[in-house]
Structures are given as C-alpha cells and as structure tokens.
Amino acid sequence: MARIKGGLQANKRRKNILERAKGYRGVRSKKINFAHEALMRAGRYAFAHRRDKKTAFRQLWIVRLNAAVRENGHASYSSFISKLNKSGFALDRKVLAQFASERPKVFARIAKQVV
C-alpha cells in the first residue's frame, strides 16, 4: 500500500485555526502554534465567562428587586422571596426584576398581594 502523509488534512486544520484566530493581535493571528494556544485559552475563558454572566445577571436582578421591595413596604429581599414562595407565585427573579424596573405599578400590585 502507498504511504499517505495527510498533508491535505493538516493544511485544512491549520487554515481553520488561522481563520478562527483572525483579528487577534500580532503573532497570535499569523503563526499556527501561537494561534492555537490563543484559541484554546479564548475557549476556556468563553466557557467560564458564560457561567459568570449568569451569576452577574442574577446579582443584578437581586439588587433591583431589593430596592423595589423596600420601596413597596417589605423589610428585605429575602423575606419578600420567602413570602412569595409561600403564597404560591410562580415568578422568577428575572421577571420580577423586569416588572420592578419597567412596570413599577404591576410590581407594586404583586408586592401588595404577597403578605
């Protein structure tokens, strides 16, 4: 059998790496080894930061809710959430925070019903 060196696939792989690294600064967009390393690192950061983004948004919603809850006569965010769960409301923090910031009257009605 003839020997197959795989140059076509190797060139395709290198080309793909350089395509994905386009726009990176300096050697990171021109040399295969540096580009591959930069892509691996970027992938790790992207994965981790997708998780961090969820945490950051949840913290933002909680801060917004806490401010709105205190304006509507409740003691704190945690007591409001506890009463909300006991009263059977099926609204999550994201929706409540949107109501609090975009439709304060609707949120005020919800806060009055939760006692």
Contacts 24+ apart (CB under 8 A), 89-92: 89/113, 89/114
Mean pLDDT of the chain: 93
Reported as a single tens digit per residue, the pLDDT across 14-47 is 999 999 999 999 999 999 999 999 999 999 999 9
- The CATH number covering residue 26 comes to 1.10.1900.20
Q: Please report, rounded to a whole number, the percentage of residues in the chain having pLDDT higher than 70.
A: 100
Is residue 2 assigned to a domain? no
* Residue 104, domain extent: 7-113
| 79: in domain | yes
Query: Which of 18-27, 52-61, 73-82 shows the lowest mean pLDDT across its residues?
Result: 73-82
How many of the other CB atoms lie within 10 Å of CB of 7?
A: 8
How much is the average pLDDT of 1-13? Answer: 88
Provide the pLDDT confidence category of residue 91 given band limits of 50, 70 and 90.
confident
Assess if residue 47 is contained within a domain.
yes
pLDDT recorded at residue 89? 84
* Residue 52 within a domain: yes
Question: How far apart are the C-alpha atoms of 83 and 87, rounded to whole Å?
Answer: 6
Per the structure, the count of domains in the chain is 1
pLDDT on residue 90: 86
Residues 17, 95: Cα–Cα separation, whole Å? 41
- Please, where are the H alpha helices in 7-103? 7-20, 32-71, 77-86, 93-102
